[in-house]
Amino acid sequence: MRIVIKPNASDAADTCAALIEAALRKTPDMALGLATGGTMEPVYARLRAAHEAGLSFARCSSFNLDEYVGLAGDHPQSYRHYMQQHLFDHVDIRPEAAHLPDGAAADPVAAAAQYDALIGRCGPIGLQLLGLGSNGHIGFNEPSSSLVSRSRVKTLTRKTVEANSRFFGPDETPPHLSITMGIGTIMEASRIVLLATGRGKAQAAAAMIEGPLSAHCPASILQMHTDATVILDEEAAADLA
Does residue 137 bind ligand F6R (CB under 6 A)?
yes
**Closest residue to ligand F6R, Cβ-based?**
131
- Burial (CB < 10 A; 0-12, 13-18, 19+), residue 69, is buried
Question: Of the listed 66, 102, 116, 235, which one is catalytic?
Answer: 66
Is 66 a catalytic site residue? yes
- Residue 99 annotated among the catalytic residues of the structure: no
Amino acid 9 reads A
User: Of the residues 102, 142, 233, 235, which is catalytic?
Assistant: 142
One of 86, 135, 141, 235 is an active-site residue; which one? Answer: 135
Phi and psi for 187 in degrees, rounded to 5? -70, -15
Give the shortest CB-187-to-ligand F6R separation in angstroms.
15
Interacting residue with ligand F6R among 33, 103, 133, 182 (CB under 6 A): 133
* 164 among known catalytic residues: no
- Asked if 135 is an active-site residue, the reply is yes
Task: Judge whether 105 and 113 are in contact, CB under 8 Å.
Answer: no
Spatial strand order in the sheet of 66-68: 66-68, 177-180, 152-155
> If we measure between CA atoms, which residue out of 193, 184, 194, 60 comes closest to residue 122?
60
Amino acid letter at 166?
R
| Distance, CA of 69 to CA of 174 (rounded, Å) | 10
Q: Is 138 in the site for ligand F6R (CB under 6 A)?
A: yes
Distance CA 166, CA 131 (A): 17
Q: Which is nearer to ligand F6R, 39 or 149 (CB)?
A: 39
Q: Does 37 bind ligand F6R (CB under 6 A)?
A: yes
Mark residues 57-96: x for contact with ligand F6R by CB under 6 A, - for none: --------xx------------------------------
* Site membership for ligand F6R, residue 183 (CB under 6 A): no
**How many CA atoms, within 13 angstroms, populate the side-chain half-sphere of residue 61?**
13
Active site residues: 66, 135, 137, 142
Residues that bind ligand F6R (CB under 6 A): 35-39, 65-66, 131-133, 137-139
